[in-house]
Amino acid sequence: MAKVEIKHLTKIFGKRPKAALKMVKQNKSKDEIVEKTGSTVGVYDISMSIDEGEIFVIMGLSGSGKSTLIRLLNRLIEPTEGQLFIDGQEITKFNKKQMLDIRRQKMSMVFQNFGLFPHRTLLENTEYGLEIQGVEKEERRKRAEQALDNAKLLSYKDQYPSQLSGGMQQRVGLARALTNDPDILLMDEAFSALDPLVRGEMQDELLELQANVQKTIIFITHDLNEALHIGDHIAIMKDGQLQQIGTGEEILTNPANDYVKTFIGGVDRSKVLTAESIMIPSLTTNVDVDGPTVALRKMADEEVSGLVAVNRKRELLGYLSSDEAVKARRNQKPLTQAVSTMPTVALDTLVADIMPIIYDSQTPVAVVDANKRVRGVIIRGSVLEALADTEGEENA
């Protein structure tokens, strides 16, 4: 049996939901409905079921209704129509008291801006859920400290949220949600406010946590990579309506409609790819200035085994591999002598023409403009991806 079952859930904001509902059924656009009725369609006719212990990702651009949907699940927002079952109980029929119990025992939420109480210490924040349930002080302290310990934040327990970095704050938010030991975790763009590096760390932490605790996690994001990274199933939304549900693989290979296609960055046949559209930013070293040690350090930082060597004017000189850099350091030679040549293509070179070059080359291919300046590099992965898209379309 599914853990969470949603049937025809709809939420219309504003004063004339009936009129708006009618217009949605006639497939009128969101803007039109607002203009005519003054009501906004939050979500419309969503049905899905979520299994126990999976990470279910809901994706969409801003305004697609994903945040509304997650708030409908714990009824922070009251649905206009539809039903919602958790463990087979229809919670849309629950009264206030029962709803409080559901929120206290079964569901916890993590927020985009952390939602930590500024006037409470981390420990007081973490134990909040237990505190309002009337759990004894000793007991709730113990559990909150355990949760903070798991988040590696125990030593900060008497600090205030304003004294921590974003990543730490979100770990507290997560610890606070887990202290209640809920079955379901609702995460509303939980990592969107963090910088990319911390974000990646948090995603991995979440996966690790999930391996240990096996919660049902409903995760909202607008970032496809994040969804693919952590999601067992992904649902894509647009204008409050569901476009497609499936595993990451299914969505990438069989996008249900044009919107999903553009959303996942699929290309249509008519568009002919050029070097410019598939290149990625290049990691460069200015060999007029940098020595071998600096270059090696850059490689270590960026986790690559080579850099594009340029001069002061950012003109391409060639490729610097880590081996050559190590040699240069050992022999105390300047980097200019350690640079090997690398293949180059112009910005408007077609992907088809790049293929043979890239297969033969040991190094990435540099994309240069008319002034010999480096604009980006092309690596094998990007070509393969471009190819995969076109192939998929041929098969479809």
Partner 1 sequence: MPNLPKIPLESWISNIVSWLTTHLSGLFDLMQKGGQSIMDALTNGLTAIPMPLMIAGLTFIAILTTHKKYGFPIFTFIGLALIANQNLWSDLMSTVTLVIMASVISLVIGIPLGILTAKSPKTAAVVKPILDFMQTMPGFVYLIPAVAFFGIGVVPGVFASIIFALPPMVRMTDLGIRQVPIDLVEAADSFGSTTWQKLIKLELPNARNTILAGANQTIMLALSMVVTASMIGAPGLGRGVLSAVQRADVGSGFVNGLGLVILAIIIDRFTQKLNTKPGQKATRKPWRRWAILATVLVMIGGGVVNAMTSEKTTGQKVTLGYVAWDSEVASTTVLAQSLRQHGYDVTMTPLDNAVLWQSLSNGQVDASVSAWLPYTHKALYAKYKNDISLLGPNLHGAKTGFVVPDYMKVNSIADLKDEANKTVTGIEPGAGEMTTAKQTLEAYPNLSGWNLSSSSSGAMTTALDKAYKSKKDIIVTGWSPHWMFSKYKLKYLEDPKGTMGKNETINTITRKNLKQDNPKFEKVMDKFNWTKDDMESVMFDIQKGQSPEQAANKWLKAHAKLADSWYK
The residues binding partner 1 (CB under 8 A) are 71, 74, 76, 99-104, 107-109, 111-119, 128-129, 131-133, 160-163, 180, 186
Q: Considering beta carbons, is residue 118 or 281 the nearer one to partner 1? A: 118
Task: Output the smallest distance, CB 178 to partner 1, in A.
Answer: 12
H/E stretch holding 13: strand 4-13
CB 110 within 8 A of CB 189: no
What does the alpha-carbon distance between residue 371 and residue 315 come to, in Å, rounded to a whole number?
Answer: 8
What does the alpha-carbon distance between residue 328 and residue 323 come to, in Å, rounded to a whole number?
Answer: 9
Q: Considering beta carbons, is residue 49 or 113 the nearer one to partner 1? A: 113
What does the alpha-carbon distance between residue 193 and residue 115 come to, in Å, rounded to a whole number?
Answer: 12
- Sort 377 into a burial class: Cβ within 10 Å, 0-12 / 13-18 / 19+: buried
Q: Considering beta carbons, is residue 13 or 160 the nearer one to partner 1? A: 160
Task: Output the smallest distance, CB 177 to partner 1, in A.
Answer: 9
CB 58 within 8 A of CB 70: yes
Task: Output the smallest distance, CB 217 to partner 1, in A.
Answer: 15
Task: Output the smallest distance, CB 197 to partner 1, in A.
Answer: 24
Q: Considering beta carbons, is residue 75 or 142 the nearer one to partner 1? A: 75
Task: Output the smallest distance, CB 14 to partner 1, in A.
Answer: 16
- Tokens encoding 108: 């916890």
Q: Considering beta carbons, is residue 144 or 309 the nearer one to partner 1? A: 144
- E strand segments, 291-373: 306-310, 316-321, 344-346, 365-368
Q: Considering beta carbons, is residue 127 or 239 the nearer one to partner 1? A: 127
- Tokens encoding 258: 């044009």
